[in-house]
Chains A and B, each alone.
Chain A
Amino acid sequence: MNLLDIRNLSIELDTPSGRVLAVDKVSLSIKEGEFRGLVGESGSGKSLLAQAIIGVLEDKWHVNADRFHWRGIDLLRLTLAERRDLLCRDIAMIFQEPMSCLDPTTLIGEQLSEAIDDSQFTGYFWQRKKQRKEAVIKLLHKVGIKKHSQCLTSYPHQLTEAICQRVMIAIALARQPILLIADEPTATMENTNQGQIFRLLANLNQLKNMSILLISHDLENLTHWTSTITVMYSGQFVEAGTTEQIFNKPMHPYTRALVDSSTKANLQIPAKSRLITLPGSIPILKHLPIGCRLGPRCPRAQKTCVVAPKVTSFHGHKVSCHFPLFRETRRKYMQKQQVVKGTE
């Protein structure tokens, strides 16, 4: 059964010139124990989607969806407070720039211990304090911080980014979540620290069977760790499938471009030649193209692309494109040509 099942989630932003559709009908599903990656350029609405799931978006954003299920419970029927209660217990989130996500004036120990809820403890209230401290130390050991007493009595600005991110993960683990959403957890770190954090996440995924939604703009790095990947572009769903499907046989021109733009993915390219990129850059929210938002940059765009494509599934490999990169059956191709002719 799907842990999280979202169908056609849209996020709108109130601006002085009317509402803007920032995220347009994105579907996402996560199974138990799955390590899913969410990829896209900066500004493609990945973080928005994650924050909408956990319900910490500000009031100016409006979220609606056709289906929003969490472990079989229809969240759309619950009130906002009930939904947050339920989700905060089961879903945890870590953010980019961990240093700014920790309260600068409170000790790490306090911030950690307040994340643990009382229901995890047994015994009388005078035993709670000791138990709480033990639980905090155990959490720090779990994320690989050995000098726990030093860490607990320091302020965030006295620690490095990587340690802060570990503390954030420890805080996230405090509620024993079923799903961990990691929003570019290594955006400001150097390579060694990045590897450590990713390895920690992979360990949690394998040993504790915790599902992880990893958000990143770095497709190449992601493929080492994830089992499935969802690709987004400019607030629209692009493609979803297993890591092998996405990486080896991308069907969407955008995913193709993403894969081509990395060196390792494309060893056939001769040395010192330019990498293949799409012309232009991601559209800003004020000037979104109609239909498929990749349209103006897409090498395969045709007239039909002014209408947003429907999601089609090929053996679990979902793609949202009128002209996907694979051999279509003759009949389907003819049908499409007729549609194109019909619009002329």
Chain B
Amino acid sequence: MLKFTFRRLSLFVFTMLVLTLLSFSLSFLFPGDTVINHSGQINATPTELVQLNKAYQMDKGLFTQYVAYVSHILSGDFGQSMASQSPIRDEIIELLPATIELSLVALLVAMLIGIPLGFIAAINHNKVSDNAILSMAMLGYSIPVFWLGLLAILVFSIGLGWLPSAGQISLLFEIELVTGIQFIDILLSDSPYKWQAFSDASAHIILPACVVALAPATIFIRLSRAAMIEVLATSYIRAARAKGLSFKQIIFRHAIRNALIQIIRHVGLQFANLVTLAMVTEVIFSWPGIGRWLIESIAQRDYTAIQSGLLVLSCFIFIIHILTDFIYAALNPLARGNKYGS
């Protein structure tokens, strides 16, 4: 297991190096001065410019420049936002947890809905319920997320008035920022209105999370259905039946576990897709996350912000990948001895 962890960690380090190389080269590709793209200080005075050139080693070779850039990032200095002139690091620390929260809740919803439905479809293979679930999945997959978000606001917020349409929490509650993840902050705070705040925050997250979760859930339905059908046709399931186990025992003890192993790898892959959907959804639901911030930065040509936002988001997605790999290894005894970090 130690070897496995080490392999994943080295894979992480090298992937991050390649990603920083990409974002470093973006500074040269974007219009404008390279050092200003690096630092984001568009209104720098000549003396400040000299300092910046020195800090980013602009007079040396490309490799030294890259090393200087990486050391800046490692020390937590992403430069300033060109639009707001505030440090990007602070903005990311404020915004990223909201995105993490939204995407993790959406992932959870997608898995909790998608995987059991897929299993039910596979168990009733070629029956009415199978076809119904499959056609529902097809329909859900083909609905575009921006349209669904607007429709959800129209129906549930404006029409029925059940759920709030925008924001992360009602402005009435004042929650101290500790971890940045709203739910944990609420539970940590000692406000007398803690539980009201909690239920309000839950009401706020339902609509965006469901909108984000729909497309991945349909993919999970198809994945888990295919995996379950495959598992149910294997000879160890037949042997278990001959062993005298009931159908329920076979499903819960053998089939689900083996099917989950096949799905869990795809969950990591789907997560990138899910974060992309979350970015669009954040704009629609005015969710104060990094996705909305990134889209706004793109609109404002805020090159420094685009660079660092890409870096942070891809780092986040990669960490989730590694986590799913660990879960996969924990569930599957065959993967623990795997030779290469694939």
- Which residues of A pack against B, CB within 8 Å? 51, 54, 56, 58, 88-89, 92-93, 95, 97, 100-106, 114-115, 117, 155, 157, 168, 171-172, 174-175
Q: Which of B235, B242, B249 has most chain A Cβ within 10 Å?
A: B242
A-B residue pair count with CB separations less than 8 angstroms: 65
Contact between B258 and A93 (Cβ–Cβ < 8 Å)? Answer: no
Contact between A117 and B240 (Cβ–Cβ < 8 Å)? Answer: no
| B residues near A114, Cβ cutoff 8 Å | 243, 245, 249, 253
Contact A104 B334, CB 8 Å, known A56-B238, A95-B235:
yes
| Distance of A6 from chain B, by nearest CB (Å) | 18
Expressed in whole angstroms, the Cα–Cα distance for A314 and B238 within the complex equals 39
Expressed in whole angstroms, the Cα–Cα distance for A114 and B257 within the complex equals 16
Expressed in whole angstroms, the Cα–Cα distance for A175 and B242 within the complex equals 11
| B residues near A103, Cβ cutoff 8 Å | 236, 240, 254, 258
Please name 4 further chain A to chain B contacts, defined as beta carbons within 8 Å, in addition to the given A114-B245, A175-B243, sorted by A numbering: A100-B236, A105-B261, A114-B249, A168-B239
Contact between A56 and B242 (Cβ–Cβ < 8 Å)? Answer: yes
Contact between B243 and A115 (Cβ–Cβ < 8 Å)? Answer: yes
Contact between A106 and B244 (Cβ–Cβ < 8 Å)? Answer: no
Contact between A101 and B236 (Cβ–Cβ < 8 Å)? Answer: yes
Contact of B257 among A92, A100, A106, A171 (CB under 8 A): A106
Contact A106 B253, CB 8 Å, known A95-B235, A101-B236:
yes
Contact between B331 and A105 (Cβ–Cβ < 8 Å)? Answer: yes
- Which residues of B pack against A, CB within 8 Å? 233-236, 238-245, 249, 253-254, 257-258, 261, 331-334
Contact between A101 and B253 (Cβ–Cβ < 8 Å)? Answer: no
Expressed in whole angstroms, the Cα–Cα distance for A51 and B239 within the complex equals 10
| A residues near B242, Cβ cutoff 8 Å | 54, 56, 88, 92-93, 95
| A residues near B249, Cβ cutoff 8 Å | 114
Expressed in whole angstroms, the Cα–Cα distance for A117 and B249 within the complex equals 13
Contact of B235 among A100, A106, A155 (CB under 8 A): A100
Contact between A171 and B236 (Cβ–Cβ < 8 Å)? Answer: no
Contact between B244 and A117 (Cβ–Cβ < 8 Å)? Answer: yes
| Distance of B328 from chain A, by nearest CB (Å) | 11
Expressed in whole angstroms, the Cα–Cα distance for A274 and B333 within the complex equals 50
Contact of A105 among B241, B243, B244, B258 (CB under 8 A): B258
The 6 closest A-B pairs by CB, nearest first: A88-B244, A101-B239, A93-B242, A155-B333, A103-B254, A103-B236
Expressed in whole angstroms, the Cα–Cα distance for A217 and B7 within the complex equals 47
Contact between B244 and A95 (Cβ–Cβ < 8 Å)? Answer: no
* Closest residue of B by beta carbon distance from A89: B244
Contact between A171 and B243 (Cβ–Cβ < 8 Å)? Answer: yes
| Distance of A187 from chain B, by nearest CB (Å) | 12
| Distance of A193 from chain B, by nearest CB (Å) | 19
* Closest residue of A by beta carbon distance from B126: A59
| A residues near B258, Cβ cutoff 8 Å | 103-105
Supply 15 A–B pairs (Cβ within 8 Å), ascending by A.
A54-B242, A56-B241, A58-B233, A89-B244, A95-B239, A97-B235, A100-B234, A102-B236, A105-B331, A105-B334, A114-B249, A115-B244, A115-B245, A157-B334, A172-B243
| B residues near A89, Cβ cutoff 8 Å | 244
* Closest residue of B by beta carbon distance from A174: B243
* Closest residue of B by beta carbon distance from A98: B239
Contact between B238 and A95 (Cβ–Cβ < 8 Å)? Answer: yes
Contact between A104 and B244 (Cβ–Cβ < 8 Å)? Answer: no
* Closest residue of A by beta carbon distance from B240: A103
Expressed in whole angstroms, the Cα–Cα distance for A272 and B238 within the complex equals 44
| B residues near A95, Cβ cutoff 8 Å | 235, 238-239, 242
| A residues near B253, Cβ cutoff 8 Å | 106, 114
Expressed in whole angstroms, the Cα–Cα distance for A51 and B249 within the complex equals 20
| A residues near B234, Cβ cutoff 8 Å | 100
Contact between B257 and A105 (Cβ–Cβ < 8 Å)? Answer: yes
Contact of B333 among A54, A92, A157, A172 (CB under 8 A): A157
Expressed in whole angstroms, the Cα–Cα distance for A102 and B254 within the complex equals 10
| B residues near A102, Cβ cutoff 8 Å | 236, 239
| A residues near B238, Cβ cutoff 8 Å | 51, 56, 95, 101
Expressed in whole angstroms, the Cα–Cα distance for A102 and B235 within the complex equals 8
| B residues near A58, Cβ cutoff 8 Å | 233
* Closest residue of A by beta carbon distance from B243: A115
| Distance of B256 from chain A, by nearest CB (Å) | 10
| A residues near B334, Cβ cutoff 8 Å | 104-105, 155, 157
* Closest residue of A by beta carbon distance from B237: A103
Contact between A175 and B332 (Cβ–Cβ < 8 Å)? Answer: no
Expressed in whole angstroms, the Cα–Cα distance for A97 and B234 within the complex equals 12
| Distance of B296 from chain A, by nearest CB (Å) | 46
Expressed in whole angstroms, the Cα–Cα distance for A88 and B258 within the complex equals 24
Expressed in whole angstroms, the Cα–Cα distance for A95 and B236 within the complex equals 10
